[in-house]
Structure 1
Amino acid sequence: MESRIVKQAREFCSSLFSEMELSESQEFEIFSTAMLATTLANKVDNEILKDTWLNDNISGIDGFFIIIDNALYSINNYSTILENNEDFKEVKFCFIEAKNSSHVDYKSILSFYNTLEKIFKSQCEEELLTTIMQCINDLYEKSKKQKNIPCLKINFYFCTQKTETKISDLRESWEKEIKKSEEDIKEFMEIETNLIGSEFLRKIYEVNKTEQTSISIPKNNLTCISDKCFIGYVNALSILKAISIEHDNIKVLNNNVFEDNIRLFLGDTSINKNIQETVQHRSENFHLYNNGLTLINAKSENGMKDYIFHSIRIINGCQTINSLFEVYKNSKSNETLENIILPIKIIEAIDEDEIEFIATSANRQNQIDTYQLLSNREFFKELEKYFCKNTINNKTIFYKRRMGQESKQDCINVDLLIIMRSLMSTVFQIPHRASGYFDSTMNKYLQSFENLNKESYCKLIYIVTYLFIFVEDYLNNMTKKDKTHLLKHHITFIVFKIANINVNIKKPKKQGEIPEWDNETINDTYNEIYALLSDISIFKKLMSYILEKINNTDLKSSKIAQTKQKILYSPINKAIPDFDTFCSQLQEGIINAKS
């Protein structure tokens, strides 16, 4: 009789590689690699996931992927980090060897170390190993050029179908050999070896499949303030156990719980270091220094002593939870975490728009200090004046420069968040970051905004903000209710590219840096977009034409639903491979609209 994990591996592979005939050993290789990738990365794209399986006869390596600041990359797309000249804080080169046989000896694991040593010594004969070597070298060289040197590390996962008890026995019997092999590799880079059994992989699969995480909280800890909202406190250890998967000495977070969090874990920042230091030295007063968590849940049960919340998502508190988890996974004793109390708010919500609104509102408070500092700078005062004195189609944009300003009637009211979304969707050319990584990306630009003093940029920011509002308004007013409204950033970028096909616009060198545009380029861009927005009939025809053509790409609404919006988090040339040609063809839509 087939084991449960064999059936699960086949079920998973038939979905990911539907057109391939796979052997049982290949299925286990794919399954093991994919399960580890999905639990180590915050967001996973299926196309990248396919590339993590090497499908090659390399001794000791069946799968390979890279985790860069919690994001998943393969050997086929890591170059985007280099092309965008993005800085990073942490890189994990993850190697997987999977044996579906229950009979394994140390020779099975030794072959990996030998192959890895060949990679570091540039003794690769196989083309694929040379590619992996190039990947490691590229990211290593990039790391040396950064002001803050990031942490680079090898993570090796040896997966078998053995039970957890037998895996524990293997670890004990191989401990000396593993340490010796690791010492040899550490001459080149830090390395950590993990032995994985069937139970651990199965748990990851089942959690990913159901996407349900539940937590029980004593009634005495909570106050019900409405039929859909509780406030109170929760023990840190209880929530960490609820949202993580544990196997022997390995603990990993179930990243599904952060699906609706607009700020992913930012890594080894000063804030997160402070959180961990507070845990270590002032744990009894942790709740005095931390804002706590905001959760959403799909449904709840009223138990005898506890409230049970199902399908929980953490929409505010990602940094807190990840920082606490770093302590949790590295501690032998949980005594400190047992004493930590976290303030908590739990809101029942199912509607997607409501969830997005709650998530955005919960995270805005964390940016108040930065907004207040920026609002007093001369450039933003000038920007406020520019917005007020200009109109398109008799409509004025009111920029609420200061926190707490009231909205103006008969105006389009915007704040810095909307302006930033507009810029990411146009000038910065990163609509996918506005869709899935908005908060962390915005933080990269805030310092650059502090130094912005070029008055002509008021004109540029004004017109691209207007464009974004026009696109968003058009999509929100569509009678067809599907996922199309989620394309507001991507479609804004497409319209921006079409309008500026004849304008020489350079791609930004690096995320976080505001590109240098001369006055001529700004004027040309302004005129092209202004002409488009001034004629509502032409704009509507163009939007209709774009939506028609986009339905033939991976940005179609059915694909957005199928990938649970994750296709929106990939660069646009991933969803539309020949993007420049696509835009050139769409430009004919403007010509047709005018004729």
Structure 2
Amino acid sequence: MRLTRSGIVGDGGDGGIDSIYTFVNGEQLKEDTPVNTSQKKNHIELIVIQSKTSASFKEDAVIKFRESAQDLFNLANNPDDYAARYNADLIDKVKLFRNSYAKLAKTFPKIEIRYFYATQGDEVHQNVSGKVSKLQEDIVKMFGGAEFSFEFVGASKLLEMTRNVPSTSRVLEVAESPIGTNAGSYLCLVSLSKYYEFISDSGALARSIFESNVRDYQGSVVVNTGIRKTLENRESENFWYLNNGVTIITPKAVMAGKQLTIEDPQIVNGLQTSHEIYQFYSQLESHEGDERAVLVRVICEEDEEARDRIIRATNSQTSIPPASLRSSDDIHRNIEDFLKSNDYYYDRKKNFYKNQGMPVSKIISISYMAQSMMAIMLLKPDSARARPSTLINSDIEYRKIFSLDKSIDIYLKAIQIMKAVEAYLKPENCEIQLERKTITNIKFYVAMVVSIKIAGGMSQEVEKKLSELPNVYVPGEILNNSLQQVLAEFNELGATDQVAKGTALVAKLPLS
């Protein structure tokens, strides 16, 4: 499970909560993440964190946890009624949790609520730990049957966590002796129950092993419905007779008996099959004993370009929009190389540069690049704000943003403008003190106005004008004027999330 910066809410009025995350079936919820209400068995996990640099644990922190829980997690209360007490970011994250719970309540989901309190101290005084039981009582009353945990994370534990690099290998138990190659690749049959275990982490889908797949789960499309019916009909032919199977890429695989240890496995073909197998067995009381098998290809390949070719080839048998092959496209390789030469790291392969220890502020994700380009070059900050995760699902929009026909330095300039705006909007740099939520809502609009001003006020030629500049410099005066302009219109329209995600604000801003 990976926690991202998106869950950070600590900024005054945070109720003692510095970070808060909601996971549904192992997937972190964001504002545009769909919740599958048709799945019968669900696991909702809420993680609440307070992290301090103080040298000891204090009672006040646990008391604040309890007060914020009573106000915000009590389903009889409306979180918006506490807007004067808690900041907008915290309220939004609480709504994510509450909304997902409301949508899935009819499925009687497993609820797990985990609190973490981290400081540089080590000893926890009994007066501090004694406060936890009252918090637990409140949580259990509000969410009957919820599993509650509270962990004090001190200096020793933090040091241990930084030193403990989690293993990236997984073990796949095969049903029959596999066919192996000299290069260390394997073709094997795996029982469905053992494959279910391979793709699961404590009952949740292990999403990290699907990060290189070119598309997400497609839901109840014809193919998936067929897979589901095959799984349900245990009297039919063996599953692998009727299914194309799964392809796993790995830099290294080692066979010992019937156990195949796979280093950093990535399932690059068979996502739909894997999801259907996971969903089928996660609904059962026991997944043991099903001897039907799935065909698994384990391809050992260390070279990045070769891995990309395999991803493309193994997904060429079915109809996939070109936009789905995103990270493997030449344009993304070109952006990665160009940004690297300019001190930025384009995360074409998720977490690649993070794992190499590069500064987080210098790592640019594909979705962040798409948002920046959409706001600055396409002048659609409303789309950039409203659809951070699903912005480029449309093949048409994807081609408008990522194209070999564009000057490669446009992507760098978009990032430079976006970063300049974000730096300016920070409290220590901006004369106007803005709440974090307001910054989130208006930053793409400010970036759009800034780009138009830098381009000489010619909105229809922003991309052309910016590409002609040898480099991008954003004066403080332009940043200030752009902010004032956007903020005035934003406030006049009501300064809400709906305003930022709608078309009204763009229409009010002069694009010349």
Indicate the residue corresponding to 2:213 in structure 1.
261
1:317 to 270, 284, 296: 270
Indicate the residue corresponding to 1:230 in structure 2.
186
2:231 and 2:239 in contact (8 A); partners too: yes
1:77-113 deviation line (CA, Å, top 9, x unaligned) = x2xx3xxxx8653598753357999xxxxx9999887
Structure 1 CA distance for aligned equivalents of residues 251 and 164 of structure 2: 16
Structure 1 CA distance for aligned equivalents of residues 415 and 467 of structure 2: 16
Identity of aligned residues (%): 13
Indicate the residue corresponding to 2:76 in structure 1.
120
User: 1:115 Cα shift?
Assistant: 4.5
Q: Secondary structure at the match of 1:366?
A: coil
Amino acid at match of 1:221: S
1:84-95 matched pairs, under 5 angstroms: 88-90=35-37, 94-95=45-46
1:356 to 308, 319, 340: 308
1:214 aligns with 2:166: no
1:69 and 1:266 in contact (8 A); partners too: no
1:89 and 1:151 in contact (8 A); partners too: no
1:47 aligns with 2:5: yes
1:339-391 deviation line (CA, Å, top 9, x unaligned) = 231111110122223223322332332327xxxxxxxxxxxxxxxxxxxxxxx
1:48-67 matched pairs, under 5 angstroms: 48-49=6-7, 51=8, 58=15, 64-67=20-23
1:30-429 matched pairs, under 5 angstroms: 38=2, 46-49=4-7, 51=8, 58=15, 64-67=20-23, 72-73=28-29, 78=31, 81=32, 88-90=35-37, 94-96=45-47, 114-115=70-71, 118-122=74-78, 124=82, 127-128=85-86, 155-158=111-114, 192-193=146-147, 195=149, 209-210=165-166, 212-218=168-174, 220-225=176-181, 227-246=183-202, 251-266=203-218, 275-276=227-228, 278-282=230-234, 285-303=238-256, 306-336=259-289, 338-367=290-319, 417=322, 420=323
User: 1:155 Cα shift?
Assistant: 3.6
1:547 to 412, 419, 422: 412
Structure 2 CA distance for aligned equivalents of residues 262 and 551 of structure 1: 28
Structure 1 CA distance for aligned equivalents of residues 150 and 201 of structure 2: 13
User: 1:299 Cα shift?
Assistant: 1.0
User: 1:233 Cα shift?
Assistant: 0.9
Q: TM-score, normalised by structure 1?
A: 0.46
Q: Gapped runs of 5+ residues in structure 2?
A: 51-55, 58-62, 118-132, 349-363, 421-439, 456-461, 471-512
Q: In the comparison of the two structures, how many residue pairs are matched?
A: 379
User: 1:280 Cα shift?
Assistant: 4.2
1:279/1:185 Cα in 2 relative to 1: closer, same or farther (>3 Å)?
A: same
Amino acid at match of 1:128: Y
1:160/1:281 Cα in 2 relative to 1: closer, same or farther (>3 Å)?
A: farther
Indicate the residue corresponding to 1:373 in structure 2.
none
User: 1:261 Cα shift?
Assistant: 1.7
User: 1:331 Cα shift?
Assistant: 3.5
1:152/1:507 Cα in 2 relative to 1: closer, same or farther (>3 Å)?
A: farther
User: 1:72 Cα shift?
Assistant: 3.0
User: 1:323 Cα shift?
Assistant: 3.2
Indicate the residue corresponding to 2:459 in structure 1.
none
1:223-246 deviation line (CA, Å, top 9, x unaligned) = 125524321211233333344333
1:402-551 matched pairs, under 5 angstroms: 417=322, 420=323, 435=326, 486=348, 543-544=408-409, 547=412, 550=415
User: 1:268 Cα shift?
Assistant: 6.8
Amino acid at match of 1:589: L
Structure 1 CA distance for aligned equivalents of residues 66 and 269 of structure 2: 43
1:97/1:345 Cα in 2 relative to 1: closer, same or farther (>3 Å)?
A: same
Structure 2 CA distance for aligned equivalents of residues 182 and 554 of structure 1: 43
Amino acid at match of 2:466: G
Q: TM-score, normalised by structure 2?
A: 0.52
1:589 to 466, 472, 478: 466
2:375 and 2:447 in contact (8 A); partners too: no
Q: Gapped runs of 5+ residues in structure 1?
A: 1-34, 39-43, 102-106, 162-173, 369-415, 422-433, 439-467, 518-525, 527-531, 534-538, 556-571
Structure 2 CA distance for aligned equivalents of residues 87 and 552 of structure 1: 31
1:259 and 1:313 in contact (8 A); partners too: yes
1:28-68 deviation line (CA, Å, top 9, x unaligned) = xxxxxxx5xx2xxxxx6x3214x167987749x77533447
* Structure 1 vs Structure 2 CA RMSD: 6.2
User: 1:294 Cα shift?
Assistant: 0.8
Q: Secondary structure at the match of 1:583?
A: helix
Structure 2 CA distance for aligned equivalents of residues 478 and 134 of structure 1: 37
1:62 and 1:96 in contact (8 A); partners too: no
1:232 and 1:344 in contact (8 A); partners too: yes
Structure 2 CA distance for aligned equivalents of residues 129 and 484 of structure 1: 32
1:289/1:196 Cα in 2 relative to 1: closer, same or farther (>3 Å)?
A: farther
1:261/1:283 Cα in 2 relative to 1: closer, same or farther (>3 Å)?
A: farther
1:266/1:108 Cα in 2 relative to 1: closer, same or farther (>3 Å)?
A: farther
Structure 1 CA distance for aligned equivalents of residues 113 and 302 of structure 2: 37
1:258/1:130 Cα in 2 relative to 1: closer, same or farther (>3 Å)?
A: same
User: 1:134 Cα shift?
Assistant: 5.9
2:248 and 2:265 in contact (8 A); partners too: yes
Structure 2 CA distance for aligned equivalents of residues 245 and 516 of structure 1: 36
More helix by share: 1
User: 1:296 Cα shift?
Assistant: 1.0
User: 1:580 Cα shift?
Assistant: 1.2
Structure 1 CA distance for aligned equivalents of residues 68 and 339 of structure 2: 57
Amino acid at match of 2:252: K
Amino acid at match of 2:47: I
Structure 1 CA distance for aligned equivalents of residues 376 and 147 of structure 2: 50
